[in-house]
Amino acid sequence: MAITSLPSLDGQELTILIQGRFDFGAHQDFRNAYESVSSTPQRYIVDLKDTTYLDSSALGMLLLLRDYAGGDDSMIRLVNCSSDVRKILAISNFEQLFNIA
Amino acid sequence: MSDIHIDSAVLAALQDVMEDEYPVLLDTFLVDSEERLLLLRQAQQEADAQNLRLAAHSFKGSCSNMGANMLAGLCKQLEEVGQREQLDLAAELIEQVEREFAIVRILFKSERQRYRH
Amino acid sequence: MIERLSILIVEDNAADRMLLSAIVSRQGHRALTASNGLEAVALFDRERPHLVLMDALMPVMDGFEAARRIKQAAGEALVPIIFLTSLTEGEALVRCLEAGGDDFLAKPYNRVILEAKINAMDRLRRLQETVLQQRDLIGQHNEYLLNEQRVAKAVFDKVAHSGCLDAPNIRYVQSPFAVFNGDLLLAAYKPSGGMHVLLGDFTGHGLPAAIGAMPLAEVFYGMTAKGYSLTDVLREVNAKLRHILPRGVFCCATLLNVSFQRQAVEVWNGGLPNGYLLRVNGERVPLVSRHLPLGVLEPAAFNDACEVYPVSLGDRVFLFSDGVLEAGNKQAQLFGEQRLLSVFADNQKPQALFDEIQQALLQFSGDQQDDVSLLEVSLVEDGQVKRPPLTFSDNGHNHLLDWSATFEFRGETLRYFNPLPFLLHLLLEVQGLRPQGAALFTVLAELYSNALEHGVLGLESSLKANAEGFADYYRQRSDRLAHLTDGFVRFHLRLLPEGGGGRLRLRVEDSGAGFDPQLLLPQPDDALRLSGRGLALVRQLSERCQWGDGEPGVCVEFSWKAGA
């Protein structure tokens, strides 16, 4: 599991890349990924391209990010979801809270 | 004092460590050594190579602690004789040990006298 | 500066013993001396020194044997033993190590080396001491934790199992410690008959996952017993969990409202895998997650919309926790939905399906999984499911015998407010009515839904003739209710003392057109606009049931005798 955060050049956007399992073990790293950036991004992208697994703790972490990013006013996209990941997000109806691509 | 028999540097160190008890240490060594010599002779008479070896080993250890280097060296040879079960060589070596101990004894007695002043 | 140690010196040579003792004392430690192994063991038992300097060859008992005994007596604590021997004798060194020796010191003794060795051994000794302390602390914490879990589980079991999971139409599988996996299974009889069922799965594991189960169960059982509807329960549970749980912790759940008498199942699924309604005719209807899990959304954004399915005798509902789909085997494959569906497909006798699913899981993963929760609820005759007596918090008064009241619930109030729990609560203040509480509530519920659905909302009961119409009926019901601005339902309650006992007259009328007695009389069933079942039930459960006797609406009576 590795989590990388990449701010855009203008600092407006933050991409969080999650590799491997996205579960409770990623808790601290995931928080660090958005809490310890110097810029104040307007938009967040969670890139799940290399995410092999995602559990309900991960959904909880996404909710924490959503709260951090402004709750209902947050702009968060979950991108490059595999069909398995997409299914888990769908069962929880997270498309009501996140922009899923 | 002859450094061949007694290492004066070791004695200085012992004196430093023992302080007031330094003469007692010297006395104790001498009394103890008499016993070791008895054990050596007894082992040789009984032709007990194992006991000869152990007694020589033990004596060697305390001699080295006291800076009696030549005596320690003789004990080491005796220990090896015991180990190799060359009992025919033991009597000669034990005599050498006794002669050397007699010298050491005189040197320690005088050291003890010297310390008293 | 190292702490003062007590050091046992074991040496048969008096001069060497004296020398070592002096060196050790000068370094600030306390020296204990023994001239052979036996003395050393005895002294160790008495004084428990921190460290031992041990000659190997000694009379009476040699250093090897003494070392073994001291190590044994020391137990888990590290008492370092430094053998006093020269490093040249390979065989002797091996024996020292085998006896438990930790280091060697050769003659002639060197003060600096001895001090260094003592310090090194002391560090090792203290490290071991710390490790042991921490191990004990962890063990103690674990013991506390297990004990806390036992207590928490005992309390939780009292709350969670106060329901009706033992009802004859329910089968379930759940690990006894499921609550610490966040899994939760609740079932409760409704006072009007039928039951509420919940299968939930909190995020996380351990106490954090279990902690939300308690308030959820309390709300679920408390509100169901008081006659609140499934949507009321859902809203309250969601609001409560959202309020008390930290962000990121939530509860995926499916709730069922099973009505045997109405032959309908209401379903709300937020975040759990598909459940299935398996009809007697073999049709399989997926019960899909349409909502975010409980505890995620603010109360204002929460969606309590349920799906309603008509059911008939022998139909079964199956619910699964995601532990079922995620049950793994040794090859790290997951059981998955396809395998589950093929068990459904292969099934011949519906009553065997529950066992077949269990078997398939066991066969696949090889052992019982801890976080698998599995539930089957079947539709049985109304009479087959008992209705336990209602529970009351008794205030000890028995004087509420002679009163009357009228309540009118209008327009928008009807959209959001369910008056039944409120009315039931009021009526059950009358002690004589309590034994009939369940029947009273059922009658009240039937009359109210009749008044609301047919009278106020103008829905046609004939719609429910087929499954399509059934769904349409409930769609129209929620649409019309959402836009309701006027209309009313009135409850007239009248309590009369009667020969030491008493009598309740309850009349329900509504703003709908159809309660005109002139129109009612010729075709009472239609005119009442209750489904046949509803009418039969009201007649059966109440002492008298009449309409059109000059007063609008339907009037029912319940009475009780003295001492009842």
Tell me the pLDDT tens digit for each residue of C132-169. Answer: 999 999 999 999 888 888 888 888 777 777 788 888 89
pLDDT at C532: 56
Measure in Å the smallest separation between the Cα of A85 and chain C Cα atoms: 13
Model pLDDT for residues C243-254, shown as the tens digit of each residue: 999 888 999 999
What is the average pLDDT across C334-344?
89
Least confident of B87-91, C61-65, C288-292, C398-402: C398-402
pLDDT at C229 over 50: yes
Bond from prior residue into C108 cis (ω within 30 degrees of 0): yes
Contact C273/A97, CB-based, under 8 Å?
no
Contact C204 A57 (CB under 8 A): yes
In this complex, the chains that touch A, judged by 3 or more CB pairs closer than 8 A, are: C
Query: Which CATH superfamily groups domain C6-132?
Result: Response regulator (3.40.50.2300)
Contact: B54, C16; criterion CB under 8 Å: no
Question: What confidence score (pLDDT) does residue C391 get?
Answer: 59
Interface test mutation site (partner C, options B26, B35, B39, B65, max chain C beta carbons within 10 A): B65
| Per-domain boundaries in chain C | 6-132, 161-381, 403-560
The per-residue pLDDT of chain C, averaged, comes to: 85
Q: Which residue of B has its CA nearest to C86?
A: B61
| Per CATH, domain B8-116 is 3.40.50.150 | no
Closest CA to C226 of C415, C444, C401: C444
Contact: C108, B64; criterion CB under 8 Å: yes
Give the C-alpha separation, C138 to C316, whole Å. Answer: 48
Q: Is pLDDT above 90 for C209?
A: no
Domain definitions of chain B by residue range: 8-116
Q: How sure is the predictor about C533, in pLDDT bands with cuts at 50, 70 and 90?
A: low
- The two structure tokens encoding residue C387: 């209705």
- Mean pLDDT (whole number) for B53-80: 90
DSSP string covering C324-391? HHT-B-TTS-B-HHHHHHHHHHH-SSHHHHHHHHHHHHHHHHSS--TT--EEEEE---GGGS--PPPP
Q: What is the pLDDT of residues A4-62, one digit of tens each?
A: 888 888 889 999 999 988 988 888 899 999 998 888 899 999 999 999 888 888 999 99
Confidence (pLDDT) at C393 = 58
For range C23-46, the mean pLDDT: 92
Nearest to A64 among C248, C270, C293 (CB): C248
Rounded CA-CA distance C409/C418 in Å is 10
Distance CA C132, CA C124 (A): 12
Residues of C in contact with A91 (CB under 8 A): 252, 271-273, 289, 322
pLDDT of residue C523: 41
Using the beta-carbon criterion (under 8 Å), do C272 and A91 form an inter-chain contact?
A: yes
Percent above pLDDT 70 for chain C: 91
Q: Chain C residues with CB inside 8 Å of A93's CB?
A: 270-271, 289-292
Pick C247's closest partner by Cβ from A57, A63, A91.
Answer: A63
Interface contact flag, C22 B18, Cβ < 8 Å: yes
| pLDDT (tens digit per residue) in C306-333 | 999 999 999 999 999 988 888 888 887 8
- Does residue C250 belong to the interface with chain A, where contact is any CB pair within 8 Å? yes
Phi, psi of A21 (to 5 degrees): -80, 130
- Using the Cβ of C307 and the Cβ atoms of chain A, whether some distance falls under 8 Å is answered with no
Q: Residue C165: what pLDDT? A: 86
Compute the nearest-CA separation of C22 from chain B (Å): 6
Which among C12, C18, C57 has the least Cβ separation from residue B28?
C18
What is the predicted pLDDT for the residue at C531?
Answer: 52
- The Cα of A9 is separated from the nearest Cα of chain C by a number of Å equal to 30
Instruction: Using the predicted structure, report yes or no on whether residue C68 has a pLDDT greater than 80.
Output: yes
Contacting subunits of B (3+ beta carbon pairs below 8 A):
C
CATH topology of domain C403-560: Heat Shock Protein 90 (3.30.565)
State the Cα–Cα distance between residues C441 and C280, nearest whole angstrom: 30
* CATH number for the domain formed by residue range(s) A2-100: 3.30.750.24
pLDDT for C399: 62
Measured CA to CA, the distance from residue A16 to residue A45 in angstroms comes to: 6
> Tell me, what DSSP letter sits at residue C294?
B
DSSP line for C208-273: HHHHTHHHHHHHHHHHHHTT--HHHHHHHHHHHHHHHSPTT--EEEEEEEEETTTTEEEEEEESSP
Average pLDDT, integer, range C536-559: 82
Amino acid, res. A36: S
Chains C and B: 3 or more CB pairs within 8 Å of each other? yes
Q: What is the CATH class of C161-381? A: alpha beta
Residue C440, Cβ neighbours under 10 Å: how many?
A: 26
Residue with tokens 């601290």, as numbered in its chain = A28
In this structure, the strands spanning C251-259 and C501-510 are unpaired
Collect contacts of C473-481 with beta carbons under 8 A, ≥24 apart: C474/C308, C477/C453, C478/C305, C481/C414, C481/C415, C481/C457
Give domain limits for chain A.
Answer: 2-100
Mind telling me how many Å the CA of C297 is from chain A's nearest CA? 9
Rounded Cα distance between A31 and C197, Å, is 36
- Residue C520: predicted pLDDT: 35
Residue C466 has pLDDT above 80, yes or no: no
Angle at A16 between CA A15 and CA A18, to 5 degrees: 140
Q: Is residue C91 predicted with pLDDT exceeding 80?
A: no
Residues C281-296: what's their mean pLDDT?
94
- Please report which confidence band the pLDDT of residue C88 belongs to, taking 50, 70 and 90 as the band edges: low
How many percent of chain B have pLDDT more than 90?
A: 26
C-alpha distances in angstroms, C338 versus C101, C287, C288, C324, C345?
Answer: 63, 16, 16, 12, 10
* Confidence band, pLDDT 50/70/90 cuts, at residue C513: low
Q: How sure is the predictor about C388, in pLDDT bands with cuts at 50, 70 and 90?
A: low
Say how many C-beta atoms besides its own lie within 10 A of residue A39's C-beta: 12
Residue B86: the pLDDT is 85
Whether C89 shows a pLDDT value over 70: the answer reads no
- Global pTM reads 0.68
Q: Are A94 and C290 in contact (CB under 8 A)?
A: no
Nearest to B25 among C19, C108, C109 (CB): C19
For the record, the structure tokens of A46 come out as: 């969670």
CB contact residues (below 8 A), chain C span 266-295, against chain A = 270-273, 289-293
Interface-testing mutation among B6, B22, B29, with chain C (most C C-beta atoms within 10 A): B29
Minimum distance, in Å, between the CA of residue A92 and any CA atom of chain C: 4
Binned at pLDDT 50, 70 and 90, residue C424 comes out as: confident
Check residue C456 and report its DSSP letter: I
C521: confidence class by pLDDT, cuts 50, 70, 90: very low
